[in-house]
């Protein structure tokens, strides 16, 4: 700690931080633009000028850029100094010379850092009398809008997009007043992280395109803390609502997980909650036609079904653990299924078992950023867990920072630190069957088939620790690869192993676990991460249950009276004939879901569940982090959260006493009590009766407008604000709101004078550190387990003569379930194409998976071995998800002209 003096006030600054950070942490409002807590300082905007004095006798001082000056012991600065103030005022004045002054029609308006800084510096009169320079805007695709005239040339966008996220297609052109931030030509931004530009840009140049279609000012929207539902990373988000509709998704800071950034699937994938695919009433389905019925009648119907034999429940990795537990409790543990078919069921179960017991550390994303060697084993992380790939990419920056330490440069001094490491690759070794987006930045990218990757993994573990299971008949090449990778991991201080369930291979998971365990025996602070298929796969697998195959068997044996499917689409797991057989062999199919899936279309009785924006619940991410999401929308009946449907079904069918939950708190408490592994989930967020300073926390801003007028077209009667027993947040503008409210309850970021997302600084104990309101989420796994080695290396993968090995090729956009009901993601997804190994040109193929034949566009990929093809899961064959052998026939070798 260093003591510095800001306008005569002694404050503590952290060693090595810069004066801007120190000022902000001391609560001083010092304007800035180009500095970003995660991107560091470049001194580009000159907005953070302060006066620095040599010593107590120095009365003149000199202007310095706070963001570029280290906070050294005894530093004396003045923010209020008239010259410094004038300087800052003039900076804004010149930044505004070409600005279009179009705040009323700008989507940044009301949450604009440029507006805030303009007001803060006191610039209010325009003296510049000349023409403004104007730019042409570009069409940057379905996600991000572009209005270049609002630019103040802070360079944040390119520094995020290129330096931080490794994007190549956004650049800066020309110079001086004409400087232009955009693409070489109009076209969709290629990065999976482009949406962050909306938050990174301090002005209205980059704004959220889908949001602009349902636009509302920030102050007019309700906010609620939420958790992303689109992969197992569990990024924290804020959902914004107005008039009953979710308007947009913003990043919510979680120190350990997503910090300042989301991926585009998470930011733009939530449109499904408003989509026409939503199910909005209960109904009977007959011949594909749904007849809506009142809830009471639906429940009676269920009671009648329940008399027809055993009830089996199918849970889901996209539903909360409370809902899953409710279903399991209702049908009984022996009649509860995870909803995964084999081999995925086995793989996810194994993965979660490993995560719970490994002797390595299951690292949160932020911790992995400082790894010095990463081995990615058979998982295309950039597609299955995008934000994780962004975190792993930061290992490159960690390597740069080490060079900076040698040269005694502070890490925040971005330009020199980045230049120092300009020829460094990220210390990442990728071993996957096919190319991944991480390859370009990685030190090396090796190709092998899933079983062979597992063999390699076993061999690496065995080289690190001879006690780990060995692999017989290794080829020379395999031995060389294993030795090189083992050596790379052994020289590292903080090696991290990353794998996942993409190829549904338990051998691969065992291999990854063995390497991590072997590194631990060598005294390494090794980390292990396994990517899971859905946002709450960890929760479901921990609870455990039957595989879908087991359910099918039982059904065929006539042992299933009613099958209750909750928030799952079985057609994504079972092929058409298996699904059909299942549906025909159960007496009744009941579906609880928020959207109309092909499974719901076959249901006899369907009831509408809330989407995650309309209810509260807990999800457990791939690192065992239990996180609570809260409702931002107050849904109208008959929509209710799945566990309430399960409870009502239980009551209707005479199972009183099994499930008597009235509130989310009761559901959480019962789940925590019922599944020992979940004991801590009660701590994931405060209960509904939580009050701060004697009041509830409000979820609307104090400026919200049209409070009574908004429904005047329906009725002019004043209606009371909606309430819900499931959230500690009040639905309206009454209530408290402070920067140190519990971190899990933050509904939006705003403090007086700071209306943009930059106000986050005020919610942190220190910049980039923990929130004032404490931790976000609790981990349900211990620090370290004691598991030893497991599994045996599989035999070398032999390709077949007449069949092709079809491997799932996940995509950031296109292979997700709920995100594909969201228009922006649909627009971003490209056509499904089969990539066929070998040199022979192909344009169209037919593939036979099981009994079904599909006719699909194809390209050949010489980087893949002959006899292997890649296919995006769920996009060609609905249920296709795990590797399998198929027959593939070339229909045409050349594209039709």
Partner 1 sequence: MPDVIDADLVETILDMAHHDVLPRGACIEAMKIVQDRYGWICDRHLKQIADLLGMSLADIDGVATYYNLIFRQPVGENVIMLCDSVSCWVMGTDGVREKLCRKLGVKMGQTTEDGKFTLLPIVCLGHCDHAPAMLINKEIYGPVRPEDIDGIIEAHREKTS
Interface residue list for partner 1 (CB under 8 A): 168-175, 180, 183-185, 422-423
The binder of 171, among ligand FES, ligand SF4, partner 1, none, by C-beta within 5 to 8 A per type, is partner 1
| Residues 431, 788 contacting (CB under 8 angstroms) | no
Least distance (Å) between residue 121 CB and ligand FES: 13
The binder of 168, among ligand FES, partner 1, ligand SF4, none, by C-beta within 5 to 8 A per type, is partner 1
- Rounded Cα distance, 456 and 478, in Å: 7
Least distance (Å) between residue 179 CB and partner 1: 9
262 binds ligand SF4 (CB under 6 A): yes
201 binds ligand SF4 (CB under 6 A): yes
| Residues 426, 393 contacting (CB under 8 angstroms) | yes
- Dihedral of alpha carbons 114, 256, 415, 148, sign: negative
DSSP letter for 548, please. Answer: H
In terms of Cβ atoms closer than 10 Å to its own Cβ (0-12, 13-18, 19+), residue 454 is: buried
DSSP letter for 164, please. Answer: I
The binder of 67, among ligand SF4, partner 1, ligand FES, none, by C-beta within 5 to 8 A per type, is ligand FES
The binder of 234, among ligand FES, ligand SF4, partner 1, none, by C-beta within 5 to 8 A per type, is ligand SF4
CA nearest to 564, candidates 663, 642, 664: 642
Q: What residue number has its CB nearest to ligand FES?
A: 67
DSSP letter for 314, please. Answer: E
Q: How many residues bind ligand FES (CB under 6 A)?
A: 13
> Stretches 195-203, 294-302, 306-314, 707-715: which one binds ligand SF4 (CB under 6 A)?
195-203
Nearer to partner 1, 149 or 270 (CB): 149
- Rounded Cα distance, 308 and 293, in Å: 21
| Residues 295, 637 contacting (CB under 8 angstroms) | yes
140 binds ligand FES (CB under 6 A): no
Least distance (Å) between residue 32 CB and partner 1: 25
Cis peptide upstream of residue 638 (ω within 30 degrees of 0): yes
- Rounded Cα distance, 532 and 620, in Å: 11
**Residue 704 half-sphere exposure toward CB, CA atoms < 13 A:** 23
The 26-55 contact track toward ligand FES, x by CB under 6 A, reads ------xxxx-------xxxxxx-------
Nearer to ligand FES, 50 or 331 (CB): 50
Nearer to partner 1, 172 or 751 (CB): 172
> Stretches 145-153, 207-215, 354-362, 499-507: which one binds ligand SF4 (CB under 6 A)?
145-153
The pair of structure tokens assigned to 297 is 């009648």
- Rounded Cα distance, 106 and 124, in Å: 19
The binder of 152, among ligand FES, partner 1, ligand SF4, none, by C-beta within 5 to 8 A per type, is ligand SF4
Nearer to partner 1, 140 or 856 (CB): 140
Least distance (Å) between residue 694 CB and ligand FES: 39
The binder of 45, among ligand SF4, ligand FES, partner 1, none, by C-beta within 5 to 8 A per type, is ligand FES
Nearer to partner 1, 289 or 422 (CB): 422
| Residues 848, 871 contacting (CB under 8 angstroms) | no
> Stretches 66-74, 197-205, 280-288, 374-382: which one binds ligand SF4 (CB under 6 A)?
197-205
- Dihedral of alpha carbons 219, 221, 224, 229, sign: negative
Nearer to ligand FES, 18 or 744 (CB): 18
CA angle 240, 749, 611 (to 5 degrees): 25
Residue 695 pairs in a beta bridge with: 692
What's the distance, Cα to Cα, between the start and end of the chain in Å? Answer: 69
| Residues 779, 625 contacting (CB under 8 angstroms) | yes
The binder of 423, among ligand SF4, partner 1, ligand FES, none, by C-beta within 5 to 8 A per type, is partner 1
- Rounded Cα distance, 849 and 875, in Å: 13
The binder of 43, among ligand SF4, partner 1, ligand FES, none, by C-beta within 5 to 8 A per type, is ligand FES
Residue list 60-99, contact with ligand FES (CB under 6 A): 65, 67
22 binds ligand SF4 (CB under 6 A): no
- Rounded Cα distance, 592 and 602, in Å: 12
The binder of 170, among ligand SF4, ligand FES, partner 1, none, by C-beta within 5 to 8 A per type, is partner 1
203 binds ligand SF4 (CB under 6 A): yes
**Residues with Cβ within 8 Å of residue 799, at least 6 apart in sequence:** 449, 805, 865, 866, 867, 868
**Alpha helix ranges (H) inside 466-597:** 476-491, 506-521, 537-543, 548-556, 576-585
Least distance (Å) between residue 386 CB and ligand SF4: 4
Identify the helix (H) or strand (E) that includes residue 325. helix 321-331
How many other C-beta atoms lie within 10 A of the C-beta of residue 657?
8
The pair of structure tokens assigned to 383 is 């597609």
Least distance (Å) between residue 15 CB and ligand FES: 20
Nearer to ligand SF4, 383 or 413 (CB): 383
Interface with ligand SF4 (CB under 6 A), residue from 77, 154, 246, 570: 154
Which residues contact ligand FES by CB under 6 A? 20, 32-35, 43-48, 65, 67
**Site residues, ligand SF4 (CB under 6 A):** 151-157, 181, 201-203, 205, 228, 230-231, 233-235, 258, 262-263, 265-266, 385-387
């Amino acid at each position: 700690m260093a003591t510095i003096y800001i306008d005569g006030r002694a404050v503590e600054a952290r060693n090595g931080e810069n004066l801007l950070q120190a000022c902000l942490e001391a609560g001083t409002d010092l304007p800035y633009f180009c500095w970003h807590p995660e991107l560091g300082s470049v001194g580009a905007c000159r907005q953070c000028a302060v006066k620095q004095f040599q010593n107590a006798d120095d009365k003149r001082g000199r202007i310095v850029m706070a963001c570029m000056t280290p906070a050294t012991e005894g530093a004396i600065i003045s923010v209020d100094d008239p010259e410094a103030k004038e300087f800052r005022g003039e900076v804004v004045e010149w930044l505004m010379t070409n600005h279009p002054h179009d705040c009323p029609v700008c989507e940044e308006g009301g949450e604009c850092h440029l507006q805030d800084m303009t007001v803060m510096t006191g610039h209010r009169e325009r003296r510049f009398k000349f023409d403004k320079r104007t730019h042409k805007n570009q069409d940057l695709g379905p996600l991000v809008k572009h209005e270049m005239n609002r630019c103040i040339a802070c360079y944040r966008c390119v520094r995020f997009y290129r330096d931080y996220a490794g994007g190549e297609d956004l650049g800066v052109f020309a110079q001086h007043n004409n400087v232009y931030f955009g693409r070489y030509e109009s076209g969709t931004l290629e990065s999976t992280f482009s949406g962050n530009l909306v938050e990174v840009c301090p002005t209205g140049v980059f704004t959220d395109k889908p949001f602009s279609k349902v636009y509302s000012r920030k102050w007019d929207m309700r906010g609620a803390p939420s958790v992303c539902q689109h992969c197992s990373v569990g990024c924290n988000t804020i959902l914004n609502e107005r008039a009953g509709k979710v308007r947009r998704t913003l990043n919510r800071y979680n120190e350990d997980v997503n910090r300042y950034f989301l991926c585009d699937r998470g930011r733009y994938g939530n449109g499904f909650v408003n989509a026409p695919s939503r199910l909005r009433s209960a109904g009977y389905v007959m011949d594909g036609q749904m007849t809506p019925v009142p809830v009471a009648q639906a429940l009676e119907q269920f009671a009648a079904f329940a008399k027809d034999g055993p009830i089996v429940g199918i849970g889901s990795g996209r539903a909360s653990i409370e809902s899953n537990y409710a279903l399991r409790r209702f049908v009984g543990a022996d009649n509860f299924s995870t909803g995964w078919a084999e081999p995925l069921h086995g793989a996810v179960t194994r993965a979660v078992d490993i995560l719970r017991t490994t002797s390595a550390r299951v690292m949160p994303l932020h911790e992995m950023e400082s790894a010095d060697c990463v081995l990615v084993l058979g998982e295309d992380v950039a597609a299955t867990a995008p934000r994780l790939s962004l975190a792993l990419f930061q290992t490159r920056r960690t390597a740069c920072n080490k060079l900076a330490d040698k040269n005694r440069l502070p890490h925040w001094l971005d330009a020199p630190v980045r230049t120092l490491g300009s020829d460094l690759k990220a210390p990442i070794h990728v071993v996957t069957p096919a190319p991944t987006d991480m390859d370009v930045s990685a030190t090396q990218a090796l190709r092998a088939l899933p079983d062979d990757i597992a063999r390699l993994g076993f061999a690496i573990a065995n080289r690190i620790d001879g006690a780990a299971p060995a692999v017989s008949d290794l080829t020379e090449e395999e031995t060389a690869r294993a030795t090189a990778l083992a050596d790379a991991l052994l020289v590292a201080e903080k090696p991290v192993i990353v794998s996942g369930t993409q190829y549904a291979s338990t051998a691969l998971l065992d291999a990854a676990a063995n390497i991590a365990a072997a590194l631990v025996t060598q005294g390494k602070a090794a980390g292990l991460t396994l990517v899971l298929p859905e946002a709450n796969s960890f929760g479901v697998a921990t609870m455990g249950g039957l595989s879908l195959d087991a359910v099918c068997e039982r059904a065929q044996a006539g042992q299933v009276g009613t099958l209750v499917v909750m928030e799952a689409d079985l057609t994504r797991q079972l092929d058409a004939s298996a699904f059909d057989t299942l549906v025909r062999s159960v007496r009744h199919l009941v579906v609880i879901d928020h959207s109309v899936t092909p499974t719901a279309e076959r249901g006899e009785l369907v009831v509408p569940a809330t989407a995650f924006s309309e209810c509260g619940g807990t999800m457990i991410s791939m690192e065992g982090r239990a996180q609570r999401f809260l409702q931002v929308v107050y849904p109208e009946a008959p929509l209710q959260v799945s566990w309430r449907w399960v409870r009502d079904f239980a009551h209707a069918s005479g199972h009183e006493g099994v499930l008597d939950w009235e509130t989310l708190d009761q559901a959480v408490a019962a789940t925590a009590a019922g599944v020992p592994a979940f004991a801590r989930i009660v701590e994931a967020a405060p209960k509904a009766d939580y009050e701060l300073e004697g009041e509830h926390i409000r979820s609307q801003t104090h400026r919200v407008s049209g409070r009574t007028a908004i429904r005047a077209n329906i009725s002019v009667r004043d209606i009371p604000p909606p309430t819900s027993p499931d959230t500690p947040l009040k639905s309206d503008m009454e209530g408290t709101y402070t920067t140190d409210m519990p971190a899990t309850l933050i509904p939006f970021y705003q403090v007086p004078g700071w209306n943009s997302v930059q106000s986050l600084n005020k919610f942190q104990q220190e910049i980039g550190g923990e929130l004032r309101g404490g931790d976000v989420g609790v981990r349900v796994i211990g620090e370290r387990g004691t598991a030893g080695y497991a599994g045996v290396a599989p035999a070398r993968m032999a390709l077949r003569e007449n069949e092709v090995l079809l491997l799932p090729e996940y995509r950031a956009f296109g292979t997700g379930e709920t995100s594909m009901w969201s228009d922006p993601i649909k627009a971003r997804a490209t056509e499904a194409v089969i990539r066929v190994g070998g040199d022979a040109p192909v344009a169209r193929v037919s593939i036979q998976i099981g009994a079904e034949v599909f006719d699909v566009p194809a390209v050949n990929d010489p980087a893949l071995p002959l006899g292997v093809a890649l296919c995006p899961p769920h996009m060609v064959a609905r249920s296709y998800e795990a590797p399998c052998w198929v027959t593939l026939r070339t229909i045409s070798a050349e594209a039709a002209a």
